[in-house]
Chain A
Amino acid sequence: MTEQLTIAAPWRLVRTRRRSRDQKPFDLFPLFRLAVLLLVSSIVLLPLLATAIGGFKGLGELRTNPLGLPHPWQWRNYLDILESARYWRVLGNSLFIACFTVAITVALAAMAAFAFAHLKFFGSRFLFTYMTLGLMFPIATAILPLFIRVRDLGLLDTPWGVILPQSAFYLAMAVLLLRNGFRQLPSELLDAALVDGCGYVRYFLYVTLPLSRPILSTVAIIAFVNSWNNYIVPLIMLNSEQLYPWPLGMMAYEGEYMTSWQLVLAFITLTILPAIVMFLLAQKHIVAGLTAGAVKG
């Protein structure tokens, strides 16, 4: 069969040759590929596993048995943390901050992006460029004046002192992504709606937003992950431990139990667990959101 093909159509030669190479029982490439991938993934996963398993050991055992499995497994380390109010409080604080950050970022950015996508008015290009300036520099550059501003507004040591600056900095990314997304909706829709007497506000609420769910969820995912993991803004703005989101809570816990690595390890494991669970549940959306956001931005 392959012989015939080769004779009948010489340009198929390549094809058939490749196929026959694939069928060779001693093609080493898949094995080599798998070996490399297993090596790299073990380097990626071992630190995480060592942390999680270390949380099951006693402090002495961390020293005497650094590489093996715990003997016995000390569930107490984990249970004590799960039973503490502190653990749930830091997660709750993070959730509160992240939800409001997402809500504000998405709502304000969607409105502004709608204006930039559909309204032609003098200065719109200038204002759009102005808003995307935020993509050029990190929040750290202005963190001291930001601190003073938040203090003068009386928002220091409140969740809003974290939420508002964070949202403001995520706006640039969100406006850019959403404007590009809104522009892809057919413009005939808007023209038809306007002729029929539907105003811009109603069009925005009932047409643009429902039709733009994918890009809206991309923006929401990026804002949520960034807020969930943000360290520098709450570090500067929050003082009372009652308000700490989990990265600060984790560092505070570490500062307190510095001499008991096993407890710190259990605390780290439990605080990164929600992110890992979220990732496993919604991996497709999260990966697509974070990479698409980067590419389209």
Chain B
Amino acid sequence: MTVTTIQESKGAAGGVWVAALIFLPPALLLFTVFVILPIGEAAWYGFYNWDGYNRPQNFVGLKNYISLFNNSSFRTALLNNLIIIAVSLAIQLPLALAMALLLARRAFGSVAFRLIFFLPYILADVAAGLIFRFIFDGDYGPLSGATQALGFGPVYMLASPTWAMVALLVVIVWKYFGFHMMLFIAGLQGIDRNLYEAAEIDGAGAFQRFRFVTIPQLSPMIKLSVFFSVIGALQFFDVVVPLTGGGPFNATNTMVSFLYLFGITRMRVGFGSAVGVVLFVICVTFAFGYRRLLMRDD
């Protein structure tokens, strides 16, 4: 009896290794070849001046990184990423939370409104960018049409560096608040109703219930939403190309659109890789730090 169990467990242990060798390699191989190696290569290429043909030979040390941080367009792009993060946190999240509070419970039209607000999220960023290029177009766009109908002149929003950035931020909020709203609705629906009743019996008013029940109960979801906002803002690209193409005067680039315009279209592999490495370091530092500090217990 004991012998058979030992044999069985031995067989099972052997089976574990066989099974692992069947199940794991395909995913590990694909992931390593197309995700991990390219990241490593980016770190390597970043030290070279290379046009992408033959092998990288022209070692330039940190020159790519130095010229990157001396590049005013890159600094603008970095700043734009920070602005996008700020707007996501200061405007988009409160808006998403407000809409979630109005729509979390069953009430007239809740389901329909939720779907409407979520709709932009499933549309491709490129399409959203192009749609808003039309909306903000000074000659043919409805916004300019409206200002003209009101007796003002046409508005060329995308021609001004500042206003083009505002336009970009409008598109971001338009496109993404519905997703965060859905996260908040899921969080709100998970809050125990008894907490509200208890707070009400204790004499808490509507604002106090919001402050001392809703917000603490929702905090895991808020942390998650902040996390997605920041990671999403850091990799922001698709809307930029159709909406402004990074212009006017490189005023609306993000790090990724800068990488695209200055690294990829000009085939400056070393320089572009250096941009990728900077982005990588920022993302990974943020992701690790954020999880360590805030999401430890979730």
Contacts and interface: CB of A to CB of B under 8 A. Distances in A.
Nearest to B242: A251
B71 to A, nearest CB: 17
B31 A171 contact: yes
A231 B34 contact: no
Nearest to B288: A136
Contact of A48 (B114, B131, B264): B131
A168 B283 contact: no
A97 interface: no
Given A114-B23, A261-B140, A134 B116 contact: no
Interface residues of A, number: 97
A291 to B, nearest CB: 5
Nearest to A283: B115
B131 A63 contact: no
Given A119-B19, A169-B34, A295-B224, A127 B24 contact: yes
B259 interface: yes
A137 B141 contact: no
A140 B280 CA distance: 9
Nearest to B122: A279
Interface stretch (A29-37, A69-77, A82-90, A212-220): A29-37
Given A164-B30, A232-B238, A271-B127, A14 B200 contact: yes
A81 interface: no
A142 B42 contact: yes
Contacts of A121: 16-17, 20
Contact of A149 (B38, B234, B237): B38
A169 B235 CA distance: 14
A124 interface: yes
Contacts of A264: 130, 134
A62 interface: yes
Assign chain B's interface to a size class. 35 or more
B276 A140 contact: yes
Interface in A39-66: 40-41, 43-48, 50-51, 54, 59, 62-63, 66
B222 interface: no
A149 B37 contact: yes
B124 interface: yes
Contact of B279 (A112, A138, A146, A228): A138
A124 to B, nearest CB: 7
A204 interface: yes
A103 interface: no
A37 B121 contact: no
A260 to B, nearest CB: 10
Given A63-B139, A272-B127, A37 B264 contact: no
B18 to A, nearest CB: 8
B28 interface: yes
A9 B182 CA distance: 39
B195 interface: no
B207 to A, nearest CB: 14
B24 A286 contact: no
Contacts of B263: 144
A250 interface: yes
Contacts of A168: 30-31, 33-35
Interface in A253-281: 254, 261, 264-265, 268, 271-272, 275-276, 279
B122 A44 contact: no
A213 B131 CA distance: 36
A254 B132 CA distance: 13
A136 B34 CA distance: 15
B215 interface: no
Contacts of B139: 63
B34 A141 contact: no
B246 interface: no
Interface string A7-37: 0000100100000000000000010011011
B130 A268 contact: yes
A172 B31 contact: yes
Interface in B112-156: 113-127, 130-132, 134-135, 137, 139-142, 144-146, 148-149
Nearest to B279: A141
Contact of A47 (B107, B118, B131): B131
Contacts of A131: 27-28, 31
Among all A-B residue pairs, the 8 with the closest Cβ atoms = A66-B145, A138-B235, A168-B34, A142-B38, A145-B41, A112-B27, A229-B124, A200-B19
Interface of B: 8, 12, 15-17, 19-20, 22-24, 26-28, 30-31, 33-39, 41-42, 45, 52, 95, 98-99, 102-103, 107-109, 113-127, 130-132, 134-135, 137, 139-142, 144-146, 148-149, 174, 178-179, 182-183, 186, 197, 200-201, 221, 224, 228, 231, 234-235, 237-238, 241-242, 256, 259-260, 263-264, 269, 272-273, 276-277, 279-280, 283-284, 287-288
11 contacts: A62-B140, A111-B22, A114-B23, A115-B23, A127-B24, A138-B283, A143-B259, A144-B259, A199-B15, A200-B15, A235-B260
